[in-house]
Amino acid sequence: MRATHTDIDSYVDDNGKRLIRKSLSLNVTLRKEYISRIPRWRRPVVGYIFSFLLVGAALLGTLFIEQMLQEHFHFLGSLFSVAVLFAALFWGVGPALLTLLLSTLALDYFFIPPPHQFTFYTLDSVLQLAPFIATGLIIALITAQRERARLQTLATEQELASYAEDLEATNEQLKEANEMKDRFLSIASHELKTPITTIRGQAQLAMRRIAKQRNPPPELESMRTTLEKIDNQSGRLTALIDELLDVSQIRAGKLELHKKDYDIVDICREVIEDEHLLTDRTITLEAPSTPLKANVDRDRIVQVLVNLISNAVKYSSEETTVQVTVFRNDDKVVIQVRDQGKGIAREQQKHIFEMFYRTPDAQSSSKRGLGLGLAITKDIVERHNGRISFESEPGKGSTFVVELPLQ
């Protein structure tokens, strides 16, 4: 059995140190675990047997020294103290106490007069033995503290290991949930796209047929308006689904680029024309007359420009102009999209490239969106080894800047 963090009760002492309060059963478990980790020869049972041998060796050593000196040995207890120290050091507090007890009896029996008699109950013997017993007890006490500290460390180690296991399991669950969500996003987007494409195709076909009629009756005219609405809305839906598909590809790291050399000024001009036709807004372009060629995925760079220009149009009032500037800066082409809209508040600016983030202003407005355009834009630009940044001041407008390496 191993201690888990739920078995361990911890508290903080007056100095702010975290301590562990262990129950009796936990203490027993920890002790067993501790013993199982130390080498066999250092287990307490071996220590109890060695206590007798150590005391025997100390006794023989002391007797031998006395013989050699031919007179009374003044440091009688010294070899016995070494025996206690050995027992404490290698086998812990239990064997140390047994060694102390055996040593006291040996000292009393062999060295405290009258010889070969136990007199430890007399005051005289007690006084003579007291310094040795005190030394032994201090050794045992220090050993007990060391053992306690080791058990405490072991408890903390096990607690940490159990937290780590829990964290890993939770992490694994989160990863699975995340993968499932991504799979769902990808499957749902694919499945939605097919019927919507069919609906849109059918609506456009019907509109073309109506357009071919020379003098269409009034009910066909009203049907055309309905079909136009279906076409518009299904177009919007397709755009939203495309964004979701892009997100699922980005998250799976599967967004592929098909790069070729293109003139960035040319691409900007085309996108601006399309956006102007679509929104009827004034969008100006300031660009050099010479081409600025870069190795890019054309469709993806078009997507970047559409996102930035349509945002500039979407988040500014109709009478204002959107300005696009393209220029060369060293080995980079720089594209700036400037609007005179509401701008973005400072505290919201750091979230602007996050997936699904929309400013509270945008959320409460009639401007629709999933909050994915800028996240996708950033990913595309960075996959081209480029950089995207922006400056925005509430009330004055925003400028988004894309830098792409030139060919």
Residues that bind ligand ADP (CB under 6 A): 307, 311-312, 315, 339, 341-342, 344, 352, 357-359, 362, 369-375, 398
Question: Please, which residue, 246 or 339, has the CB nearer to ligand ADP?
Answer: 339
Question: Please, which residue, 157 or 354, has the CB nearer to ligand ADP?
Answer: 354
Question: Please, which residue, 216 or 371, has the CB nearer to ligand ADP?
Answer: 371
Q: What is the CA radius of gyration of the chain?
A: 43
Question: Please, which residue, 336 or 359, has the CB nearer to ligand ADP?
Answer: 359
Shortest Cβ 243–ligand ADP spacing (Å): 8
Nearest-angstrom CA–CA distance, 109 and 119: 8
Shortest Cβ 369–ligand ADP spacing (Å): 2
- Token code pair at residue 146: 């060391």
Terminal Cα-to-Cα distance of the chain (whole angstroms): 65
Longest dimension (CA), the chain: 143
Question: Please, which residue, 96 or 304, has the CB nearer to ligand ADP?
Answer: 304
Question: Please, which residue, 281 or 358, has the CB nearer to ligand ADP?
Answer: 358
Beta strand spans in 7-153 (E): 9-12, 18-21
Determine contact, residues 382/397, Cβ cutoff 8 Å. no
Shortest Cβ 240–ligand ADP spacing (Å): 9
Determine contact, residues 235/200, Cβ cutoff 8 Å. yes
Question: Please, which residue, 33 or 391, has the CB nearer to ligand ADP?
Answer: 391
Q: Which residues of 143-172 are buried (b: 16+ CB within 10 A; e: fewer)?
A: bbeebeebbeebbbebbeebeeeeeeeeee
Nearest-angstrom CA–CA distance, 397 and 97: 83
Shortest Cβ 316–ligand ADP spacing (Å): 7
Question: Please, which residue, 84 or 352, has the CB nearer to ligand ADP?
Answer: 352
**91 three-class SS:** helix
State the pairing for strand pair 18-21/260-263.
unpaired
| Element at 36 (helix H, strand E) | helix 24-37
Residue in 265, 372, 360 with CA at minimum distance from that of residue 311: 372
Shortest Cβ 342–ligand ADP spacing (Å): 6
Question: Please, which residue, 108 or 403, has the CB nearer to ligand ADP?
Answer: 403
Which sign does the torsion angle of CA 349, 320, 317, 311 carry? negative
Shortest Cβ 352–ligand ADP spacing (Å): 5
Question: Please, which residue, 146 or 314, has the CB nearer to ligand ADP?
Answer: 314
Shortest Cβ 166–ligand ADP spacing (Å): 36
Shortest Cβ 361–ligand ADP spacing (Å): 6
Residue in 249, 255, 362, 241 with CA at minimum distance from that of residue 311: 362
Shortest Cβ 4–ligand ADP spacing (Å): 45
Question: Please, which residue, 29 or 316, has the CB nearer to ligand ADP?
Answer: 316
Determine contact, residues 139/85, Cβ cutoff 8 Å. yes
Determine contact, residues 316/342, Cβ cutoff 8 Å. yes
Neighbours of 387 (CB within 10 A): 15
State the pairing for strand pair 9-12/18-21.
antiparallel
Shortest Cβ 321–ligand ADP spacing (Å): 13
Give 290's DSSP letter.
Answer: S
Determine contact, residues 311/281, Cβ cutoff 8 Å. no
Shortest Cβ 250–ligand ADP spacing (Å): 13
